[in-house]
Amino acid sequence: MDKFSIEILKELLPAEKEVIPPMPKKQGSQAPHLDHWSPAVLLERAAYLRKLARSGDGQASETLKEYPGHAAMLSFRSRDGEAELHEHFADIFIVLDGRATLVTGGTISAARTIGPGETRGERVEGGARQELRAGDVAHVPAGVPHQMLLAGEKTISCIVVKIRENAEKP
């Protein structure tokens, strides 16, 4: 910041605040990239996923961004999900809109392996139930069976962050 700019800021800011110029950037250094999705953008994308879900099987999702060790996704569903178990990944659900019941623990009935470390099935039996609403955050550790259930005409839109918890290869 040059001397002239500092003098202008001193005039605009209260006298008790000292104006400190920013630290000069090291040559070749670059600020880390920030990915940001506002609630308005996420809800607009969720409305699009709702349309896709209507013409499909009642659910739709999209990957917002993949990172080393984790990924951010947007999910909409208007029907119960399959029971799931991810051996190497935790799921964090951040509810944007709607309501559902998350069942965790227990066992998966009619379990089948769909890929390395990935199991699906008809339902979670004997698990704990937690109602999720807009604003709620839920963490399901790797290796824990879980299933999202919806009642009647209810729907849910949420961000799902998938985080690698186990260092083993999937």
In a domain, 1, yes or no: no
Residue at token pair 């991810």: 86
Q: What is the rounded distance in angstroms from the CA atom of residue 6 to the CA atom of residue 10?
A: 6
pLDDT tens for each residue of 21-70: 444 555 555 656 889 999 999 999 999 999 999 999 999 999 999 999 99
Q: Can you give the residue range of the structural domain that contains 73?
A: 58-164
Whether residue 39 lies inside any domain: the answer is no
Question: Has residue 77 been placed in a domain?
Answer: yes
pTM listed for this prediction: 0.78
Number of domains in the chain: 1
- CATH code where residue 66 lies: 2.60.120.10
86 class by beta-carbon count within 10 Å (0-12 exposed, 13-18 middle, 19+ buried): buried
Q: Measured between alpha carbons, how far apart are the two ends of the chain, in Å?
A: 50
CA distance 68 to 129: 31
Considering the domain boundaries, does residue 47 fall inside one? Answer: no
How confident is the model at residue 94, as a pLDDT? 98
Burial (CB < 10 A; 0-12, 13-18, 19+), residue 26, is: exposed
Residue 106 lies in a domain: yes
pLDDT < 50 positions in the chain: 1, 4-5, 8-9, 11-23, 169-170
